[in-house]
Amino acid sequence: MRKNIVVGNWKMNLKREESLELVSAVLSKLPEDKNTEVVFAPSFLYLYKIAKLCSDFERVKVSAQNCSKEGKGAFTGEISSEMIESSNGDYVIIGHSERREFFKETNADLVQKINMALANNLKVIFCCGERLNQREESTHFDWVKQQINESLFHLSVADFNNIVIAYEPIWAIGTGITATSEQAQEMHGFIRTIISEKFGNEIAENTSILYGGSCNPNNAKDLFTQKDIDGGLIGGASLNADDFLAIIHSF
């Protein structure tokens, strides 16, 4: 049975005290009767402290926003998967469109990062998605299939069980534009189909696929009622405790 998951990706936002206050506010009002897994993805600076705050909450996890493709060595400024795991991280986000665009990460780079993360007992939130011109040219399915095929389909079944996929239509990130629930469901269903073709139906049905394009309290419920949408990778709305809680309550 796949999990419902809501991930708060803070990106490069919030100072230390703001971060701790936000987490405390969310934890104080988490619904007790929900099975939804909640994941905070703060700056790496705050990851260890936030992991300690969340340690008594079984359904609350922490994630790094990125990791190095290297294990260790002379890579000034990089953060290894081993460091994340030793700081009590549970997940790492890999392949976010901002990393692909601004830091020129390729699918080959992501393979190395994914392998490092899994080798260090981290689960991976793998991002994929198309630009507006690709959707307009009707090449968006081919593009997303290529991203998944080149980055994930080298994995064993055992390793793939530690993958969560986040579909993020790039044209809807931070723009206030959201894919319609029908558009999102169509792509999520397509992703589940190609997973089934590679690993079988049981693995596909147990893979959580999140929506990551301007999900907010106003549209979360409609998105989350779609049969192949298992939660959200939330950006701006995760920086406000009430908004983030409203999204968590949308299941």
Q: Are 234 and 9 in contact (CB under 8 A)?
A: yes
Best CA proximity match to 244, nearest among 63, 49, 10: 10
Q: Which amino acids are annotated catalytic?
A: 96, 168
Q: Which of 125, 132, 127, 65 is nearest to 96 (CA)?
A: 127
End-to-end CA, the chain: 16
8 A C-beta contact, residue 191 and residue 227: no
* Spacing of C-alpha 178 from chain mean position: 17
State whether residue 59 is helix, strand or coil: coil
Contact between 11 and 235 (Cβ < 8 Å): yes
Contacts of 17 (CB under 8 A, 6+ apart): none
Tokens encoding 36: 């939804």
Contact 175, 148 (CB under 8 A): no
CA angle 237, 220, 163 (to 5 degrees): 85
